[in-house]
Amino acid sequence: MADILRVSHRRPRQFRRVDRQLTDFTDEELRKRYRFSADNIDRLVRLIGPLLVRQTRRNQALTPRQQILITLRFLATGNFMQVIGDTFGVDIATVSRVISKVTDILFGLKDQVIKFPMTDTDRRKVMNGFYAIRGFPSVIGCIDGTHVKLISPGQPDEAAYVNRKHQHSINVQATCDHKGKFTSLNACWPGSCHDSHVFRMSSIGRHLQSHNQDPQNGYLLGDSGYPCRPFLITPFLQPRNENEERFNKAHISTRNVVERVFGVWKRTFHILHGEIRMKPHRVTRIIVACAVLHNLRLQWGEPQEGSDSDQDQPPTEIFQGTMDGKGVRQHIVQTYF
């Protein structure tokens, strides 16, 4: 009996015309799917599209716009890559390569898009913005940490990524301004690291240690998980009088900006909510890419919660006491609360 040769034909890939799909959606529908309006998707294509042009002679190569939309859909929904591939009509390997490429490019924009206020003009603008919230003076940013879950990285680093909730995660430290824009972000430390250690070792922590010992240059507001320093003011653990209680209330109301930013950020990019099934170095790039996109959304006028005020703070009083965190904090209480 003759052998029967079975020839398996590879199923041709079907590429959907994503560019045409965009014309069928309103801006609100596009924001639900991709987190950007049509005009701002065009801006993003102009910004990073030239870096996504693929050097190939194949007539079905993905366009830069298609690559950007695939990545935005993945970050916005947190769906499995297989689901994203089925949505766009491409295989999972292609989705993986596209997401890696686009997030690497967005990661490379971090120093252009995520900037700490360094000039006197920028610091004064941020100080005035924070003062308008609850009358807290000289604040140049709020700092906090949040955890982004990931799969176990395996030995030998597995234990380092287990946080206090017994989950594998990366401890993400960020500062923000009064408008909710990230001004610094550190996403390279495993979940077992304490917030104070992450801050001490971060570039922003070292910069403030060297340049912001004088409270007139401004300071960050942080929760009690951080040490009280001239450049990082924390609340009183046990307020002793009404002034210190008023200080704590103003501190909490002002510092809540960064907590709201984390909430908006994770709701916008659902990939940050669940367990990211990638290696830690790739998760870091995903996190930073989402922060870059968050700032671009603010910069390009995508709808955000809250409103701004133009109220100015009074001139900062000259501090004459001991240049330590508790001394600066007590001076603020006596002068403003």
Helix, coil or strand: residue 173: strand
Q: What percent of the chain lies above the pLDDT cut of 90?
A: 60
Neighbours of 298 (CB within 10 A): 18
Which tens digit of pLDDT belongs to each residue from 182-241? 999 999 999 999 888 999 999 999 998 888 777 778 999 999 889 889 999 999 988 888
Phi, psi of 149 (to 5 degrees): -75, 150
User: Going by C-beta distance under 8 Å and a sequence separation of 6 or more, which residues neighbour residue 296?
Assistant: 40, 44, 113
Taking a C-beta distance cutoff of 8 angstroms, is the pair 48, 102 a contact? yes
Residue written as token pair 């603020």 = 332
Which tens digit of pLDDT belongs to each residue from 89-131? 899 999 999 999 999 999 999 999 999 999 999 999 999 999 9
Tokens of 79: 């769906």
At residue 312 the predicted structure's pLDDT band, cuts being 50, 70 and 90, is very low
Tokens of 327: 């001394």
Distance of CA 40 to the CA centre of its chain: 19
Query: Which of 168, 125, 92 has the alpha carbon at shortest distance from 310?
Result: 125
* Encoded amino acid at 179, one letter: K
| DSSP 8-state code for residue 324 | S
Helix, coil or strand: residue 334: helix
Look at residue 262 in the predicted model and tell me its pLDDT. Answer: 95
Residue written as token pair 């942080």 = 222
User: Going by C-beta distance under 8 Å and a sequence separation of 6 or more, which residues neighbour residue 277?
Assistant: 150, 151
Tokens of 155: 């030995």
Residue written as token pair 């070292």 = 206
Which tens digit of pLDDT belongs to each residue from 136-181? 999 999 999 999 999 988 888 889 999 999 999 999 999 999 999 9
Facing residues of 149 across strands? Answer: 169
Please state whether the peptide bond connecting residue 190 to the residue before it is cis, i.e. omega within 30 degrees of 0. Answer: no
At residue 324 the predicted structure's pLDDT band, cuts being 50, 70 and 90, is low
Taking a C-beta distance cutoff of 8 angstroms, is the pair 223, 215 a contact? no
Average pLDDT of span 50-58: 76
Query: Which of 75, 73, 97 has the alpha carbon at shortest distance from 86?
Result: 73
Q: Per 3-state DSSP, what percentage of the chain is helix, strand, and coil (rounded to 5)?
A: 50, 10, 40
